[in-house]
Every structure is written in structure tokens, then in C-alpha cells.
A and B are shown apart, each in its own frame.
Chain A
């Protein structure tokens, strides 16, 4: 899943640079949480931007959409107020409908902004915007560790499956723990080698990164102002 989303991020159509994208989403999210009109504007604009960026948007939206619907259903039957409908012992009240409705809109709106960021921005692009050197270094190193861990996990899982290692609960727990241990050690070794390779190449403490194109700042400002204007409508 990580790989597929990463390839989507690489191939998506970008209408603005990574800096503008990250700042646009980070500044828009608080506004989305605050105001209903801003939520509607953001939902429309970010959905259009995400659809333009990649068709994967609809696939990405599907699982959370089901999740949001289930969750708001729980809210619908939880909050007390004036009863407007009932199903056996479950009651729907005026207050629960109001809260469920606002939660639904807020979730979809915030998620559309978040999806736009996720679909268009790779993790190194995001991390490169962080100015604290040590934090940037540990984040990029752990990103490499995650890739190594996933790679190791896949090969160890295939090997354990071939040896019927997951047959029965007891064996499943033991095999999973052994895989965990091997995954941990092999990844530790590989990340350590990566560290040594960096040192051997006179690593100065600053992670090299590809210079990404800027641009799209005016568009980002216009979208932000449109969402901001929702507060005054």
C-alpha cells in the first residue's frame, strides 16, 4: 500500500510546488474545523484539486467514507435530546442529528484537504520543509528504516508461510514474534550500514535532497482566501 501511494504521489498532476501545497493545507485545516461555510468551500475546491491530481482520490476516499458513515451512525444513536425517531431501544434525537450532520461535513471537508496533500506530496518533500536539522535527519533515516522493515517483513512472511508457520494460533504468535525479531535485527543492521556509508562519504549532517520546483503560490493564496472568506459569509 505504501508503494502504491508513493507511486501515485510521484505521478500525480501538481498545480503548485510542495511548499505552497503543504502550507495551503496546514493553514486551511484550522479554518475547516471552525466554520461550516469554509467546510463547503474547502470540500469543493480540494475535491476538484484532488480529482485533477489523480483518479486515485476516489479510491482513497472510499474506505474513510464508509468509516465516517459508520462512526456518525454511532453518534446518531448516542447523543440525548428530543426524540424524533426510534428503532427498538435505539433513539435518534434532534441534537444527535445536528452533531452527526456537522461531524459528517467536517470530516469529509478536512479529509478532502488532507487527501490533496497525501496524493501530491511525497514524504521527503514534506520533511524537506522542516528546518530543524536533527529532526529532519531522524525523520529521513526512519523513513528509510520503514522501507527496509516492510521489505524484510515481506520476504520473512513468504518464507514463514512456505514452512506452514502460521498454522494455528500458538504457532502464529510464535512465528510473528520471530519475524518481528528478525525484522528488527536485519533492519537495524541495514540502517547501521546506511549510516556507515553516509559517514564514508563525508556526510556533513545535512541530508541531500532534490530541489523541487516552487510556483503556484498565487493559486494557493487564492484558494486560502476563498476558504477564509467562508468565515464572513
Chain B
């Protein structure tokens, strides 16, 4: 995740920005409505954003123009849902670019699509599907799926920008190669992050249920 500044060609930067902007506008609108409904939600939103920032700043380098790290979006998507998480993630990504030189401005659209939109969306679907049966499994899948899907999307983004040969075959070949490189660090990270997310969400639910209900 976190494709670095300048790594993607102009047309792909524009494409990912065009995809991210409508979702971010909707996420911002929902966040504003949430704050208007309950002004105290502002603090929870700010801390969750900070949490995404801190977790996703723990990076391990990967050799594909990107790096591996926990995403922190699994916890946020359980607390706020996918659209607000997308909005929060985009700000966390902007902060990481400006405070840690991690990611970039031209690649912010692409990074938002993978870490803020698609990953949490699939995490949310997994959470909703398992919530009725087993809450622990639902928390685990939300974090693991959000994390793992982020890397699948990043691999696809890199493969689309740098296909081995013209056409879909070249894109698939590159995607498999990038996924293979990421998998070494990312699968263990996704599992560890999911365990941490389960323990975190369970302890929040046990000791501070008002945070979840807020």
C-alpha cells in the first residue's frame, strides 16, 4: 500500500482521483451530517482518524513501488461504516504524505481507492455477513478482509500502470507478480492486524460500550 509520489503515470493518477472524489464527497457529507446530529462524534472521528494514521504509518518496505503495513481501517469501518471510513482514510493518507513523506499527493487518489474505499468496503461486507452469527469472527474478518483487499487493489493498480505486455494478459501477469511480492509481508500482517482489531474492538465493547454506541 501507499504508492509513492510520482510512481504512477499521469493518466492513472487522474483515473484514480476521478474514482475517489465522488465517494469522498459523499463520505464528507455523511460525516458532516453525523457531526450535526451529535457534536460529540467529532472527538471520536478525530481519534479514529488518528488511529488509522498511527497504524498505517508502521510500514515495512516492499519492492514494488509500495510498502506493507497494517491499515487500521478495519476498526474504523466497524465503528463508522464504509463512506465515513473513506473520508477519514483520505485525510490520514494526506497527513502521512505531509508529515512522514509516506505516499504522495499525485498518488493520493490511488491510495485512497485501495486503502480507504475498496478495502474497507469489502471489510464491511464481511462484517455484516458474519455479525449475526459470531461477533468475534465478524471483527476478525472485517479487519483481515479490509487489509487484504487493500493489497489486492494496490497490486492491480500497479499492474494496470505497469503491465508486462499490452492487454489483459499482461496486466494479470504483472498483478500476480506484484501480489506474490506483497504476500510475503502482507498475509502475516493482515492476520496479526485482525487479531489486534478483535481484541481492541472486544475490549472497547466490554469496557467502553458508549464508544461503540456513539
Binding site for B on A (CB under 8 A): 1-2, 5-6, 25-26, 29-30, 32-34, 60, 64, 67-68, 70-71, 73-75, 78-80, 99, 103, 106-111, 114-115, 117-118, 121, 123, 126, 134-135, 137-139, 141-146, 148-150, 153, 173-174, 176-178, 180-181, 183-185, 187-188, 191-192, 194-195
Contacts and interface: CB of A to CB of B under 8 A. Distances in A.
19 contacts: A1-B100, A2-B100, A6-B99, A30-B106, A64-B4, A71-B66, A80-B164, A80-B165, A103-B7, A107-B5, A110-B5, A110-B6, A114-B97, A134-B35, A135-B28, A138-B45, A173-B192, A174-B199, A178-B199
A135 B42 CA distance: 11
B209 interface: no
Contacts of B95: 123, 142-143, 146
Contact of B46 (A25, A79, A134, A144): A144
B199 A114 contact: no
B174 A78 contact: yes
Nearest to B191: A173
Interface stretch (B57-65, B110-118, B128-136): B57-65
Given A107-B5, A149-B54, A71 B196 contact: no
Contacts of B64: 71, 74
Q: Taking each of A32, A99, A111, A181, which has the highest tally of chain B beta carbons within 10 Å of its own beta carbon?
A: A181
B50 A149 contact: yes
B104 interface: yes
A191 B46 contact: yes
Given A99-B162, A114-B101, 20 more contacts: A1-B100, A2-B100, A26-B105, A29-B105, A30-B10, A64-B4, A68-B4, A70-B61, A71-B66, A78-B162, A79-B164, A80-B170, A103-B7, A107-B7, A114-B5, A117-B98, A173-B192, A184-B211, A185-B208, A188-B43
Name B's interface SS: helix
Contacts of A146: 49-50, 53-54, 95, 99
Given A33-B6, A138-B31, A146-B50, A181 B40 contact: no
A140 B51 CA distance: 15
B158 to A, nearest CB: 9
Interface in B1-21: 4-7, 9-10, 13
B31 to A, nearest CB: 7
B199 A109 contact: no
A183 B75 CA distance: 14
Given A2-B100, A135-B28, A149-B47, A34 B10 contact: yes
Contacts of A99: 162
A42 to B, nearest CB: 10
Interface string B164-194: 1100001000100100010000000000100
Nearest 4 interchain pairs by C-beta: A110-B6, A177-B199, A145-B50, A33-B10
Contacts of B91: 138-139, 142
B63 A148 contact: no
Contact of A118 (B67, B101, B204): B101
A43 B92 CA distance: 27
Nearest to A60: B101
Contacts of A107: 4-7
Contacts of A174: 199
B11 to A, nearest CB: 9
B32 interface: yes
Given A181-B200, A192-B43, A145 B49 contact: yes
